[in-house]
Amino acid sequence: MNTIKDMMFIDPHVHMTSRTTDDYDAMRKAGIVAIIEPAFWLGQARTEAGSFKDYYSSLVGWERFRASQFGIRHYCTIGLNSKESNNEPLAEQVMELLPLFASKEGVVGIGEIGYDDQTAAEDKYYRLQLELAKELDLPVQIHTPHRDKKKGTTRSMDVCIEHNLDPTKVIVDHNNEETVEEVLNRGFWAAFTIYPRTKMGNERMAELVKKYGPERIMVNSAADWGISDPLAVPKTAALMLEKGIPLEHIRAVCYSNALAAFGQSGQMKEADWLTPVTIDQSRKFSGSTILRGGQEPKVETRDSNIIE
Ligand SMILES: [Zn+2]
């Protein structure tokens, strides 16, 4: 990890709500300056619209604050995930909440939306949310299905085109060797999730960047409540460097492409973290603090890591 010590990283897909303060600390130390947390399901289905409302509130509120306490800029995407789209009475109520939250500060897109089992209900709410993204002029972050991936990925893009979305505003996530070519050829952004041990490992990711180059490709951890690694982006960068991939290519796929794609929201810009970041742990959010048992708050100004 020493080889990448002066680099800056963005993890454009990580569910910090499920992670610990140790993770935040390690991420900042590894050079992660900004993260995007897509709204997703929480491992257990919600039964009330109020649960969604509070979850979205925490994504734009408490979690954003918590990240700031470790010197990391937190952004999010807001959406109704595919799995829970299948509870139609609830989905109808959630759809009414979305416009309110999608227009809040720090929201860089509608996401993560798309298909899980590719049901009719999933299709319905996916399309409605594409229309919402268009209306609000926000990027879209697409979760592609883990089963029947190739077909599901093609279909996700077909529907975007059908709804007249500009591919340059759509980030297609969870790609692999079978899907990448079509996604790039059709002008969409291709995001890759680095799963520890399974699916897309970082060795395979390095091979993909060697083969396709860095254009419109980005790497993320998708770390959540399952077995996952919130340091997947910097670790992949270190491996790519070892494999002889040029520094500018690594910078593109682990930092600047995510900024370019989600920066189209107008909510995310480099100046957000390039100006020296002040960590002030004496701050509170609605009376709550991250400190416990008389701990001394850390107050410091860090100079941002500037690459090159
Ligand atoms: Zn996710």
pLDDT tens digits, the chain, 308 residues: what are they? 778 888 999 999 999 999 999 999 999 999 999 999 999 999 999 999 999 999 999 999 999 999 999 999 999 999 999 999 999 999 999 999 999 999 999 999 999 999 999 999 999 999 999 999 999 999 999 999 999 999 999 999 999 999 999 999 999 999 999 999 999 999 999 999 998 865 556 889 999 999 999 999 999 999 999 999 999 999 999 999 999 999 999 999 999 999 999 999 999 999 999 987 778 888 898 888 888 887 888 888 766 544 33
- What pLDDT is recorded for position 246? 96
DSSP β-bridge partners for residue 55: none
Query: Among 154, 144, 164, 133, which residue's Cα sits nearest to residue 264?
Result: 133
Environment of ion ligand 1 (residues, CB < 5 A): 40, 222
One-letter amino acid of 116: D
- What pLDDT is recorded for position 302? 67
Cis peptide before 112 (omega within 30 of 0): yes
- What pLDDT is recorded for position 307? 37
Give the list of residues 6+ apart from residue 201 with CB closer than 8 angstroms, or none: 194, 195
Cα of 291 to ligand 1 centre, how many Å?
28
CA separation for the pair 290, 185 (Å, rounded): 45
C-beta separation of 33 from 8 below 8 A: yes
Cα of 174 to ligand 1 centre, how many Å?
9
Angle at 21 between CA 17 and CA 26, to 5 degrees: 110
pTM of the complete model beyond 0.85: yes
Burial of 104 (0-12, 13-18, 19+ CB in 10 A): middle
- What pLDDT is recorded for position 198? 56
CA separation for the pair 153, 42 (Å, rounded): 23
How far is CA 62 from each of CA 75, 287, 292, rounded to the nearest angstrom?
12, 11, 16
Cα of 296 to ligand 1 centre, how many Å?
34
Cα of 112 to ligand 1 centre, how many Å?
7
Residues in the chain: 308
Q: What are the structural domains of the chain?
A: 2-302 (3.20.20.140)
| Cβ atoms < 10 Å from Cβ of 51 | 14
Note the pLDDT tens digit of each residue in 180-227: 999 999 999 999 999 886 555 688 999 999 999 999 999 999 999 999
Cα of 295 to ligand 1 centre, how many Å?
33
Cα of 84 to ligand 1 centre, how many Å?
14
Query: Among 118, 132, 119, 123, which residue's Cα sits nearest to residue 79?
Result: 132
* 66 half-sphere exposure, CB direction, 13 A CA radius: 21
Cα of 239 to ligand 1 centre, how many Å?
23
Cα of 29 to ligand 1 centre, how many Å?
23
Cα of 306 to ligand 1 centre, how many Å?
29
